[in-house]
């Protein structure tokens, strides 16, 4: 993002504005130094009990953050909003990630380790994730698939997203890969794309079995499946479990 951030080392009062990076901080043994998290930071389960909840990823409670007096705030370009980040950066060191590929996710893990003086633990974690993906079998003919993240309106993960890269690593070809980011999709577009599989993510929209028939009616020939959205989109320590999950899929 072209920003220079001066961070005091070691940072003792960290606010995390991103669920997957909150989980990463805890995985690196930083529980006592994480003082603020979002309401969506559901992993680990104790995160919202041991730290102050400072609102959502796109609506910060600035008074709560000010009360915490953080010496490091960690955010993400996609998950947070520019106005809020700029306001925080006027007063605090705000370190941002911007991730759309697995190598970028691994780099983020290592850099967070450096920032928090947990470089060795971060390297072990990143190497474990890298190794798990390196042994995923290559698929000769990727399965044409559509990955839905929202309902009313229907929205998919398309090209240029972290999910799109992980779909490819899992053996799928994104039928909407030529589109950008998270476009709205009409039923006729889905029919025309003719995916062999329709993947309904468990987040951010909580798709469930009750929605399968809805998509089956649009594409009767497709296999409609509910998938674990965290393992396709969380780019922190949860990636440890993604490769094994993709093997099952």
Higher-confidence position of 2 and 132: 132
Q: Is 53 exposed, middle or buried (0-12, 13-18, 19+ CB in 10 A)?
A: middle
Length of the chain: 249
CB atoms within 10 A of CB 56: 15
Query: What is the rounded average pLDDT of the residues 55-81?
Result: 96
Give the whole-number percent of the chain exceeding pLDDT 70. Answer: 100
Q: Which residue has the tokens 């309904």?
A: 200
**Structure confidence at residue 10 (pLDDT):** 84
pLDDT tens for each residue of 114-159: 999 999 999 999 999 999 999 998 888 999 999 999 999 999 999 9
Asked whether the predicted pLDDT for residue 33 surpasses 80, the reply is yes
**Structure confidence at residue 3 (pLDDT):** 79
Domain boundaries, the chain: 14-133, 143-248
Higher-confidence position of 1 and 34: 34
Predicted TM-score (pTM) of the model is 0.93
Cis upstream peptide for 108 (omega within 30°): no
CATH superfamily of 14-133: Nitrogenase molybdenum iron protein domain (3.40.50.1980)
* Strand, helix or coil for residue 40: coil
Q: Of 191, 213, 181, nearest to 200 (Cα)? A: 213
Give residue 218's pLDDT band: very low, low, confident or very high (50, 70, 90).
very high
Q: Where are the beta strands (DSSP E) in the chain?
A: 14-16, 34-37, 52-53, 72-76, 94-97, 143-150, 155-156, 172-174, 197-201, 223-227
Give residue 225's pLDDT band: very low, low, confident or very high (50, 70, 90).
very high
Give the whole-number percent of the chain exceeding pLDDT 90. Answer: 93
**Structure confidence at residue 2 (pLDDT):** 78
Domain 14-133 shares a fold with domain 143-248: yes
Asked whether the predicted pLDDT for residue 66 surpasses 90, the reply is yes
Query: Which CATH number is 143-248's, of 3.40.50.1980, 3.40.50.300, 2.115.10.20, 3.30.420.40?
Result: 3.40.50.1980
**Structure confidence at residue 139 (pLDDT):** 87
């Amino acid at each position: 993002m072209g920003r220079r951030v001066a961070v005091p080392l070691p940072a003792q009062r960290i606010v995390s504005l991103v669920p997957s990076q909150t989980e990463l901080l805890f995985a690196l043994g930083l529980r006592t130094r994480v003082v603020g998290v979002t309401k969506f930071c559901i992993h680990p389960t104790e995160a919202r009990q041991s730290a102050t909840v400072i609102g959502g990823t796109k609506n910060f409670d600035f008074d709560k953050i000010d009360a915490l007096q953080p010496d490091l705030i960690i955010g993400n370009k996609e998950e947070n909003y520019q106005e809020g980040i700029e306001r925080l950066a006027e007063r605090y060191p705000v370190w941002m990630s911007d991730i759309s590929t697995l190598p970028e996710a691994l780099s983020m893990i290592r850099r967070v380790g450096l920032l928090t003086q947990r470089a060795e633990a971060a390297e072990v974690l990143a190497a474990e994730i890298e190794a798990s993906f390196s042994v995923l079998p290559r698929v000769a003919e990727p399965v044409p698939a559509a990955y839905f993240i929202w309902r009313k309106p229907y929205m998919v993960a398309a090209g240029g997203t972290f999910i799109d890269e992980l779909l490819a690593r899992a053996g799928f070809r994104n039928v909407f890969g030529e589109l950008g980011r998270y476009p709205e999709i009409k039923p006729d577009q889905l029919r025309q794309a003719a995916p062999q599989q329709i993947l309904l993510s468990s987040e951010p929209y909580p798709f469930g079995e009750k929605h399968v028939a809805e998509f089956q009616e649009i594409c009767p020939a497709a296999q409609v499946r509910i998938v674990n959205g965290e393992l396709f989109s969380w780019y922190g320590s949860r990636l440890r479990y993604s490769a094994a999950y993709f093997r099952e899929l």
